[in-house]
A and B are shown apart, each in its own frame.
Chain A
Amino acid sequence: MIFQQIITGIIVGASYALIALGLNLIWSITDIPDFSQGGIYVIAAYVSYFAVTLARVPFFLALLAAMAVGSVISFILEKFLYKRWRGSGRIQLLCAIALFFLLSNGAILLWTPKAKIFPAYLQGGIPMFGFVLSFQRIVVLAVSTLLFIIVFLFIQKTKMGKAIRAASQDREVAQVVGINIDSVNSMVFIIGGALSSTASVLISPLYAVFPAMGDLPLLKALVGGFGSVAGVLIGGLGLGLIESLGSVYLSAAYQHGFAFFVLLIALMFFPKGLFGKV
């Protein structure tokens, strides 16, 4: 029983970590906690849902399609909105929140608040420790891990990745050295959009697709979203685990309130975030 909770915790935590990674990248360059990613999360889920049910597209193609849509939306939002107020974090934050509401409520309007069941794309699983670990859950773990590694390598090894790291340390110096801040900004939003979309599409078959699905994951991701890639991973997974175990052993009702305490404690000891910047 506890093992099942642990697995659930890790799965859910992995999705938090993916969103958190995107949020962290965006925040490290722009200082905005990009709430609109919560809206993109929702849109991506619906895109993949319709791709699979209406267009009869195989799951992984639907995943890629959703990632593409997510990245594009994220890119457009940056280019036409956030960019206007570079330097005024407060306005950008308010805009991000407005966008989040816009996208979430847009989903309610377009597709009704009723949850849609995402058809399973893989049947069966591996029996272990008294329960069956479905293949779909394994896919979540596998894809999340893969993406983390890809993003990590991208940041560390590629030219753009280095530019991102430089810009996250010191925006002005980076520009003086010749780094194109516009490109860097666009890139982190594109990556962020792709990551949020992936998290959403991976989770959809396990739970359901509904307009409010982005609310809580976004807020949870903010908890894990401070610090280096390692920090984000540990933070996201950690929160998922705490929630999962806590909901069983402490209180189911306050499951979503754990984020608060984790955040408070984390920030009290690491006021500058866990593990420093990307």
Chain B
Amino acid sequence: MRIKLKNLIAPAIVVLVLLLIPQLASEYVIYVVVLAMLYAILAGSYDLITGYTGPLTFCHGAFYGLGAYASALLTLKAGFSFWLAFPASGIIVFLFAAIVGYPALRLSGHYFAVTTFFFGHFIYLVLLNTVKLTNGPMGLRDIPAPTSFLGINFHALSASYYLILVFGLLAVVLLFLLVRSGVGKLLVSIRENEELSEAIGVNTAFYKVLAFSISGGVAGLTGSMFAHFFRLLHPTTFAWMTSEMVVIMALVGGMGTLFGPIIGAGIVTLILELMRFAPELRFIIWSVAIILVLIIEPKGLMGIVGRLRVGQGGKR
């Protein structure tokens, strides 16, 4: 796999900026950037199942929440250390997604999408109502920060921030390797033409469930990161609005490009934060923005970038 050096310049600059944030920015900005990074991984993992493999899903927020609560509860109630709870929550959500995905992915596109909608809502209800376990609407607090590792104290804000940055970078690299690998090619074949994909020997049912599960698992890991950084969980954070926002981020950035959704997430999170003062207005503007994106360039930001490249006479 050849990666051109010039393509690394933009990502390198972004990583540099991210490295400097805790040194230069206020606490508020750090929180926002952390949120943006978490959403970026959510959107990236979402792209794996929807952008690359095909099926639209609306339960990504629920996987995020499942991972968050699983990790929090494992540390709070089962005495796990974060370093064990983190991978465990990823595995738990991976399995959950596999169990739900196995029957659900037999359904055709729209039925499957609606099913994920309901599944997501159901998870939200569970988080809200099993008060004994999750504290329900009162929220889960005092979630421990990751225990000391290599002498680093994760109670400090900047240490926590860097932990998330490292997680984010690793996740992006892994997702990138996955979509560029043979697996990625087979997933794309399923998206492009499922029948032909079957006919050339791809076990489409298996790969769809695999993509769905990996995407869910990564969302679960991201949830764990969220839980131990913000140390406070509330079910509404993971209601369907979150799933919807992930879809928007992926759409705005450009589905099926991995970096599109990641960038899209960053942009959307930042703008959402800037518009905190008028919540309803925010969503109206987002709705209008989505429709405009769909009218002008359904391939999102990456689509526009592609068009510019072609316009300059460059090779696509």
Contacts and interface: CB of A to CB of B under 8 A. Distances in A.
| A–B contact (CB under 8 angstroms) | yes
Interface of A: 27, 31-33, 81, 84-85, 88-91, 93-95, 97-99, 101-102, 105-106, 108-109, 219, 222-223, 226, 253-254, 256-257, 259-260, 263-264, 267-268, 271, 273
Nearest to A106: B284
A271 B118 contact: no
| Majority DSSP secondary structure for residues of A touching B | helix
B280 A102 contact: no
B115 interface: yes
A29 to B, nearest CB: 13
A130 to B, nearest CB: 30
A219 B121 contact: yes
A274 to B, nearest CB: 11
B290 A98 contact: yes
Q: Which of B108, B110, B247, B287 counts the most A-chain CB atoms under 10 A from its CB?
A: B287
CB-CB nearest 6 A-B residue pairs = A102-B287, A260-B118, A98-B290, A253-B129, A105-B283, A101-B287
Given A95-B291, A99-B291, A105-B283, A271 B111 contact: yes
A109 B281 contact: yes
B122 A271 contact: no
Contacts of A90: 56, 109
A147 B148 CA distance: 67
A260 B291 contact: no
A267 B281 CA distance: 37
A271 B108 CA distance: 8
A263 B114 contact: yes
B274 interface: no
Interface in B240-299: 244, 247, 251, 280-281, 283-284, 286-288, 290-291, 294-295, 298
B84 interface: no
B155 interface: no
Given A97-B244, A254-B125, A256-B121, A267 B291 contact: no
B294 A85 contact: yes
A94 B247 contact: yes
B107 interface: yes
Nearest to A251: B129
Contact of A109 (B122, B125, B126, B284): B284
A189 to B, nearest CB: 17
Interface string B121-135: 110011011000000
Given A95-B290, A101-B286, 12 more contacts: A31-B110, A88-B298, A90-B109, A91-B294, A102-B283, A108-B280, A109-B281, A109-B284, A226-B111, A253-B128, A257-B121, A264-B103
B110 A33 contact: yes
B185 interface: no
Interface residue SS majority, chain B: helix
A222 B290 contact: no
Given A81-B291, A268-B103, A101 B109 contact: no
B114 A101 contact: no
22 contacts: A27-B110, A33-B113, A98-B287, A101-B244, A101-B284, A101-B286, A101-B287, A102-B283, A106-B284, A219-B121, A222-B117, A256-B125, A257-B125, A260-B118, A260-B119, A263-B118, A264-B104, A264-B118, A267-B107, A267-B111, A271-B108, A273-B111
Contact of A105 (B128, B251, B280, B294): B280
B309 interface: no
B122 A102 contact: no
B43 to A, nearest CB: 15
Contacts of A84: 295
Nearest to B54: A90
B180 interface: no
B251 A94 contact: yes
Contacts of B111: 226, 267, 271, 273
Nearest to A268: B103
A264 B115 contact: yes
B315 to A, nearest CB: 26
A94 B294 contact: yes
Contact of B117 (A89, A102, A219): A219
A75 B284 CA distance: 21
Interface centre among A32, A98, A226, A259 (most CB of B within 10 A): A98
B301 to A, nearest CB: 15
B307 interface: no
B153 to A, nearest CB: 41
Contact of B115 (A91, A109, A267): A267
Nearest to A88: B298
A31 B56 CA distance: 14
A273 B126 CA distance: 27
Contacts of B281: 109
A259 B120 CA distance: 12
Contacts of A101: 244, 283-284, 286-287
A264 to B, nearest CB: 7
A93 B128 CA distance: 28
A273 B281 CA distance: 38
